[in-house]
Every structure is written in C-alpha cells, then in structure tokens.
Chain A
C-alpha cells in the first residue's frame, strides 16, 4: 500500500499568516494527489485535485504543488474560516489518506 505522511500534524497560526503543509508519498504517485479541508463536525470537502488544480469555488488563497513523492498545500493570508483540518489523499493505487494536519489559532 502507498503510505502518505503529512507534516506537521498540527500547527498554530494567526489570521493573515502564510501556512504550508507537506505530504510525502512512500512511492512515486505522479500527480494523483488531492487535498481536502474538514471543519469540525462536517464532512471533508475537496480543495485541490491532481496536485495543483483549485476546485471550483475554493478560495484562490489555497494552492497546491508537487509531483512524484513530495507535495505541498499552501494557504496565503490565512482567514478565520481556514482553521480546520487538512488531509492529502492519493488515487494512484486504490486510495489512502495522510494522517491529517490541524491548523489551530495561535
């Protein structure tokens, strides 16, 4: 199975900050990598698909990058509604998720 390792597991930030979350795959997954946001008590929602494509309706302060085994999710100008958990997910072979990153208020 393909393992996804996210870092950090949690981070503290302030409104207006720039935040970067990393996702590393245990083998090459090309750009078969998606990012989801999950607010407390809610279902996850798609943010970024195929590594770098912003989902329709997602704010442009979110961006994704990378390919192969190293991927990033960057949030510029962090907003109050961005304090949530973020998960990477691969679709190269079956499906797996990273363990998640919780973005908390500093």
Chain B
C-alpha cells in the first residue's frame, strides 16, 4: 500500500538547522509531488510548500521562503525538508503528504500523510 515513513524526532537549539526525511513506498515516486505541512502544539495545519521529485523543483510558501529547502533522492524514494535559522516558534510536528489528483478532474488532494516528525527548538 502507499506509505510515507518519516525520520525521528529532533531537538535543536535556536539558530540551528533541521533536516526531516520522508521515505515513500507503494507507488511510482517520480509521478507525484510531495508537500510539507506543519502543526505547532495545539494549533492548526500550516502549508510549507511542495516539491516535484521528477524534476527537482520546488514551490515554497512565502512565510518560509529563503529559510526552507526541499530535496529529493529518486534512487531511494526519499524527499527531505531542511529548515534553517530555527526559532522556538518552529517547534511543531512536520508532515510530508503526497499530492494526489482526482481522476479525470483537475482537483488535487493530500493522501496519504506521513506519521509526522516532532521538531523541538529549545535552548
């Protein structure tokens, strides 16, 4: 079945960087874009951006532009998200999720989701 498995929890100091990985299985990796979404404790969902593993390009939310980079390893079916200059407000669970298309229609949706990676930023 289609599955996304993320790397483990991270504890970082303010000003540091973090890299979270997401390994895909059960489908043709290059055929689907991958998005990143985060959720601060007790808060809602926030979209960070997406990457197209087939060509390696990415689109980032303006809120994270310049501070986040997505990358892909098509040989291992892994996408990664690196967030730099961490602050305490970046403490959140980070999710990868596949961009799926409605068959015969232009609409897209997120399915499935990774299990989430908790990133804690604390001195």
Contact = CB atoms under 8 A, between A and B. Distances in A.
Interface stretch (A19-27, A28-36, A72-80): A28-36
B44 A87 contact: yes
Contacts of B46: 97
Contacts, number: 62
Interface in A11-59: 31-32, 34, 36, 38, 43-46, 49-50, 53, 55
A83 B64 CA distance: 32
Interface stretch (B9-17, B66-74, B81-89, B112-120): B112-120
B109 A45 contact: no
A10 interface: no
Given A46-B110, A49-B102, A49-B107, A94 B47 contact: yes
B90 interface: no
A98 B112 CA distance: 19
A63 interface: no
A91 B107 contact: yes
A43 to B, nearest CB: 4
Interface residues of A, number: 24
B108 interface: yes
Interface string A86-106: 010101001111111000000
A100 B46 CA distance: 11
Contacts of A100: 44-45
20 contacts: A31-B107, A34-B109, A43-B113, A44-B45, A44-B95, A44-B113, A45-B111, A46-B109, A46-B110, A49-B107, A50-B107, A50-B109, A53-B102, A87-B45, A91-B107, A91-B108, A94-B61, A95-B50, A97-B44, A97-B47
Q: 7 tightest CB-CB pairs across the interface, nearest first?
A: A43-B113, A49-B109, A50-B107, A91-B108, A97-B45, A100-B44, A34-B109
